[in-house]
Amino acid sequence: MNLILILILIVVALIGLRIALHRNRILGLLTFGISFLGIYLVIFPEYSTRIANALGVGRGADLLLYFLFVISILGLFFVYIRIDQNNQLITKLARSIALLSASKKDKN
């Protein structure tokens, strides 16, 4: 096993750990588990191939690619939701500023 692969695995483990410490417990543990499963499958590719064959996918690497795709879409979805929540906060902030200036004008 070469040095680059080990480096990548360490980075993945760190990111997984970082997300695992996220305030959403279930989401954190899920990401933690998934990233370590990924590391395991990279170190022992024969297992991923075996699972892939069981699912009717040719190679283990292909199976990982499909998983990557699904997880990316899921991640994108969560980011989208987060953006939406932030927009709602901004809206509330802007609205209260707008209403403050309106009440000032009223008194004049």
Partner 1 sequence: MKCAKMHGDGKHMNLNSQNSLPLHLKNNNDIFFIVPAFNEASTIENVVRSIVEHGFTPVVIDDCSSDQTADIAYSCGAVVIRHPINLGQGAALQTGIEYCLTKNFRVLVTFDSDGQHQIKDAICLINSILNDEADIVCGSRFLGTNAIGIPPVRSLFLQIAALYTRLSTGLPATDAHNGLRALSKKAAKTIRITHNRMAHASELMTQVKNLRFKELPVEILYTQHSLAKGQKLTNSINILIELFIGKFTK
Q: Can you give the binding site for partner 1, defined by CB under 8 A?
A: 80-81, 84-85, 87-88, 90-91, 94-95, 97-99, 101-103, 105-106
53 vs 85, beta carbon nearer partner 1: 85
**Residue closer to partner 1, measured from CB, 59 or 95:** 95
Closest distance of CB 74 from partner 1, Å: 12
The dihedral built from the CA positions of residue 21, 22, 23 and 27, taken in this order, carries a sign that is negative
CA end-to-end span of the chain, whole Å?
76
Instruction: Provide the minimum distance between the beta carbon of 89 and partner 1 in the complex, in angstroms, as a whole number.
Output: 11
Whichever of 68 and 76 has its CB closer to partner 1, that residue is: 76
**Residue corresponding to tokens 């200036």:** 101
Q: CB 75 → partner 1: shortest distance, Å?
A: 14
Q: Nearest approach, Cβ of 97 to partner 1 (angstroms)?
A: 5
Looking at the Cβ atoms of 72 and 87, the one nearer to partner 1 is 87
Report residue 104 CA to chain centroid gap: 45
Q: Is 60 within 8 Å of 51 (Cβ atoms)? A: yes
List C-alpha distances in Å: 72 to 42, 64, 66, 82, 107.
Answer: 18, 12, 10, 15, 53
